[in-house]
Structures are given as C-alpha cells and as structure tokens.
Chains A and B, each alone.
Chain A
Amino acid sequence: MSSSASHAHHGEANQKPLVGSMGVDSRKLGLWAFIGSETLFFATLIVTHLIFYARTKEMLNGAGILKELDPRLNYLGIELTTVLASLLLASSLTMVLALAASKARDWKKFRFWQMATILLGASFVGGQVYEFMHLYHVGLKLAPSYALHISDEVYNTIASLNLDPSIVTLGEDHGHKAAIVPSLFGVTFFVMTGFHGLHVTIGIIWLLAVYVKVNKYPDSPENPMDIELGGLYWHFVDLVWVAIFTIVYLM
C-alpha cells in the first residue's frame, strides 16, 4: 500500500491495523525503528560517561588519591537508585498488565494498571529530581569539574601532596571544604541520566494521553494498538534503566 493510498484511506483504516507493504502495522514498525536508534543514542551516552569516569579514576589513581576522591564511590549511593530501579521495573509489569486488560476489553482493569504505571513513572521522575538536587548540594554539577566535600584530615593530606592544579585544587563548596577535580564525570552523568529522565517524562505524558483517549473513546478499534505502542516505548525506557542501573551504579 503506497503512502498516499494509506493517507487517503485513513478514515477507513480506523477499522483495521495500519498495515503497510511490509505486512506489519506501520506505526509499530516506525516505533521499533525509533527504539533501535534510541538504543544507539543511549549507548553513546553510557560509553561517554564510562570513558570520562575511567580517565578521572586513572588521573586520581596516579596521584594516589583515588579512594578519597573517586566520584562514583563518593557521590552515587545505591539505596535511592535501587528504589528507583524497582519502581520502573514495577511500572513495566503494570504496563503489560494494562495491555493484557485492554486486549480482554476489561477497561476497568486497564484504567487501574495504566494509572498505576503513570504514578510509578512519576515517582521515578520525582526520585530522580531529588537525587539531582542532592548531588548538586554535595558538589556534583553539570560542569567540567566536581567539588567533593572532604574532611579536614583529607583536606590536609591533599594539601601536603602539593598536587598539580590540573589534578585537584582545594577550595570551598556550599560552605564545606572541598576538593575540586577537573573532570567531565558530572557532565556526562547528568546528560545521560537527564536524557533518560526526559524520556520517562515523555512516556508519562504519552501514557496519560492514551489513558484519556481510551476513556473518552472506549469503543475505538485503535485502542489496543495505541496502548501497545505506548507500552513498547515505556518498556524501552525501563530497559535503558536496567542498563544504567547496573553499568553506572553497580559496576
């Protein structure tokens, strides 16, 4: 079916899946292609972060102050992130339950599980905003250096080493003594997790739009595919966090 023919029959196609010349639903085909491109997009963000973290570690290790100033060990706890990962994983389950309910035309259950997915996603974003604010207040910023708050003992130890300013300088951050390390760890971390958070936010808006649409037009034959497409995107967003959680926070 040509593109123009597809457009011409759009109204009629409401009764059937929008099947293109590949024999599959065109919207789903487009979404899988998008997900494929997004996989590469997030892979570049993750690997960029890993490279700059490795560079920072090597620099600090060479100066003998890795343990004291390692940005991941000192900034990124796993308590909150484990909760966030669980929320997103749970939201994937509720999403697939919403889809199953819609296929069974059980709209009451659909509404319940879809709203649960939206709320779990919103909780994730809220948790991420909290994490970002916390990190900002302890010196990790969207800037080409991070200011790690350190004790007097560590401060004096680093001062006695008389290190090159390209490795570390001593100063203050938010009223605390801090070691200021030139590194793109913070930039790459916030860009990577920030883009993921943006994707979750877009997913919430998407799922909310589907929820409202299905509520308004419960008999629309397009509903199952609309829900499936929103769900596919949502599961992909969860999939990205599965990778970020393990690679960035645990490894």
Chain B
Amino acid sequence: MANHDTHVEHHEAHTEHSTRFYWIVGLVLAIVTAIEVAIFLVQDLFLHELFLAILIVLMLAKGVGVVLYFMHLKGDFKIFQFLFIVPFLLAVSLVLLMLTLFSYHVGIAG
C-alpha cells in the first residue's frame, strides 16, 4: 500500500494548479469561443474549406484546454490518458470514415 500512496502523492503533485491559473484557462476558452462565433458571422470572407479548418482548430484548442487543465489529464496517470485518447482517436476515425463512406451514398430519408 505504501507504494500506492507514493503513486497517489505523485499524482497530486502533478495536478495542482493555482485558482488564478484556472481563471486564465477559463478566460482563454471564452475568448476562443468568441473568436469562433465572430468567424461564423463573417464566414463569407473565407473560402469554405478555410472556414471549416479554422473552426476545427479552434474547437480542438478548446477541447484540449478542458481535457488537459480542467480534467487534469496532463500529468495524470498514463492509464487514464490511454483510456481517453484511444477511444477519442477511434471516435475521430469513425466520424471521418462514416462521412467519407456516406458522401456518395443515396440512402433513406434523402
């Protein structure tokens, strides 16, 4: 059990941030959301592909912020990172594959 306690302490040491840090992360996430909405409102200024690419990058930035700092995955045990990152990569693959496979399919309901 002593070994486990060491692990737990090690974990705690990696996940502590000051409240000021969390406020900064929250502020950054709010700014990114505002940029997303602003870009949506002026989307006619961009090529559609560029518009989509910018939104995807901003969405991923927000997601990474939430996962690493609010969910404390950064510096946490590798097993937790594994349990989230592997299904996430599978989910991204699933979305991309299904969109590709169905892009020329004339199926039910339109």
Contacts and interface: CB of A to CB of B under 8 A. Distances in A.
Given A16-B1, A39-B91, A40-B87, A182 B109 contact: yes
Given A52-B110, A235-B66, A246-B58, A36 B94 contact: no
Contact of A56 (B36, B56, B95, B110): B110
A129 interface: no
Interface of B: 1, 3-5, 7-8, 11, 16-17, 19, 22-23, 25-26, 29-30, 33, 36-37, 40, 52, 55-56, 58-59, 62-63, 66-67, 69-71, 77, 79-80, 83-84, 86-88, 90-92, 94-95, 98-99, 102-103, 106-110
Contacts of A242: 59, 62-63, 66
Main SS at interface, chain A? helix
Interface of A: 16-17, 19, 22-25, 28-29, 32-33, 35-37, 39-40, 42-44, 46-47, 50-52, 54-56, 58-59, 78, 82, 85-86, 89-90, 92-93, 95-97, 100, 103, 144, 181-184, 231-232, 235-236, 238-239, 242-243, 245-247, 250-251
A174 B84 CA distance: 45
B8 A55 contact: no
Q: Which 10 A-B pairs have the closest CB atoms?
A: A43-B91, A93-B26, A36-B87, A246-B59, A59-B110, A19-B4, A32-B83, A55-B110, A184-B109, A56-B110
Contacts of B36: 245-246, 250
Contact of A33 (B25, B52, B83): B83
Contact of B83 (A35, A92, A183): A35
B8 A95 contact: no
B70 A51 contact: no
Contacts, number: 148
Contact of B30 (A25, A86, A238, A246): A86
B12 to A, nearest CB: 8
B102 A54 contact: yes
8 contacts: A29-B83, A39-B84, A39-B91, A50-B95, A55-B109, A58-B110, A90-B26, A184-B108
Contact of B59 (A50, A90, A95, A243): A243
Given A28-B80, A92-B70, A242-B63, 13 more contacts: A23-B3, A24-B80, A32-B84, A40-B87, A47-B95, A50-B99, A55-B106, A55-B107, A82-B37, A235-B70, A246-B36, A247-B59, A251-B55
Nearest to B12: A103
Contact of A236 (B8, B59, B71): B71
Nearest to B101: A51
Q: Which of A25, A54, A90, A250 has the most CB of B within 10 A?
A: A250
